[in-house]
Amino acid sequence: MSRKFTRIGLLLIVALLVPIQSLSAVASDVTLVAGSTGLIDEDGTVLYSVILASGDATVESVGIQAQIPPQATFIEALEFPESAVLAGQVGTAVTWEVATLDGNSILGPFTFRVSFPEGFADIPKGVAATITWISPTSGIIDATPEEGTLKPLADRGQIVVDAQGTVNEAGENVPLPVGETGIEVLILPNTVAEPTTFSFRRIPITEDALPADVEDTWWCVLFEMGVDPAVELTQPIALSVPTRRVLTPGLETTIFLDQGDGNWQEFSTPRPESVSFVPNFAKQGIRRELAAPSQFGGFGGFNSCAPVGFGGFGTVGCGFGQFGGFGGGFCQFNCGFGVGVNVDDRAQAVVSSDDLQVLGSESAIEFFSNPPALSEWIKPQ
């Protein structure tokens, strides 16, 4: 019996789905904002990253000082933009310097690796970081880390959904977590007619698992989705999937689909799709003379490749006719998804105002701090 998938929508945005407080100031009122986030690597070490977004003005002589958490042992400065210089680790801080950050752009991540004692359970979700600059006027902000601890992610999980869709205890249609995988899924009411199990498995990033002949691509995530029993999905669904590294918000992504036979094929979207990031950040207006920064919420957890709007309009499916073999939106039980970014773009680690305009955004700060929630991308059909 065929496994029916009609109008499957896949939205890979950051795995933190509660809307954060809206930024009240426009870009011209803010010089910089900064976010801090962490993730546990496959070997058990922890990677911490800081990302910046600028307002309208070009900022010069920027210093980034990220604090090594208590109980942690510094291992290495791992990744940082090509335009930055690593000043090194001094005491409890890792420091980078940037000569110039253009206005209305996003820069980062500035990433370092640490280890914690074996059995240590209180691994913080982010790190405290201080960002300073000299021009257009001197300023300072703090990227205050979110409260809470990081936990290792399970490599697989499942969720059972009926005709109500994903609902919380209050009966509200909201995104729900898929076990301990870090994946969240939003399924609208009347998407399935009977109880249905959606299962997910992360595919390890190994050479033999990757699509062939795409050497210019760095892979953010590979995963497999299954549906049981065979049902017709009458509306798009939206997913949030964590990736293995923090990336620059706004980087253009490439999406690949595997119809279950190991044949990965590139998926073309109507417009460029991008990385998204919900930071936990503090802002400092250039008119506010180093007043205590106002912290805006956010959950600072997992970064994801984010095809904003991919499938959110009910126009694509897993194994759609353009890929051959299934036609009409039908595909077999398991579908693989891969998302990557260009290797050179990742190394430069900067998104310009021109890049943002291609994505339909005029403000780096807004794009960085207020990405869309899953509910904004799928609507009842």
Longest dimension (CA), the chain: 67
CA distance 377 to 358: 18
**pLDDT of 205:** 87
At residue 135, does pLDDT exceed 80?
yes
Higher pLDDT, 197 or 215: 197
Is 199:225 a contact under the CB 8 Å cutoff? yes
Nearest to 368 by CA among 110, 138, 108, 18: 108
Q: What is the C-alpha to C-alpha distance for residues 197 and 361, in angstroms, rounded to an integer? A: 36
Asked which of 168-182, 220-234, 290-304 is least confident by mean pLDDT, the reply is 290-304
Range of weakest confidence among 18-32, 100-114, 121-135, 149-163: 18-32
> Each residue of 257-284: pLDDT tens digit?
776 666 777 776 555 566 665 443 332 2
C-alpha to C-alpha distance for 159 and 184, rounded to whole angstroms = 10
Percentages helix, strand, coil for the chain (3-state, rounded to 5) are 10, 40, 55
User: What would the mean pLDDT of 157-165 be, rounded to a whole number?
Assistant: 95
| Other residues' Cβ atoms within 10 Å of the Cβ of residue 149 | 12
- What stretches of the chain show up as alpha helix (H) in DSSP? 343-348, 353-358, 364-369
pLDDT in tens, 44-87: 999 999 999 999 999 999 999 999 999 999 999 999 999 999 99
Integer Cα distance of 65 and 72 in angstroms = 16
**148-157, 184-193, 213-222: which has the minimum mean pLDDT?**
213-222
Residue 144: is its pLDDT beyond 90? no
DSSP 212: S
Least confidently predicted of 44-48, 142-146, 315-319, 365-369 = 315-319
CA distance 358 to 149: 36
Least confident of 89-98, 113-122, 239-248, 316-325: 316-325
Confidence grade of residue 299 (pLDDT, cut at 50, 70, 90) = very low
**Residue 256 corresponds to which tokens in the numbers above?**
């690949």
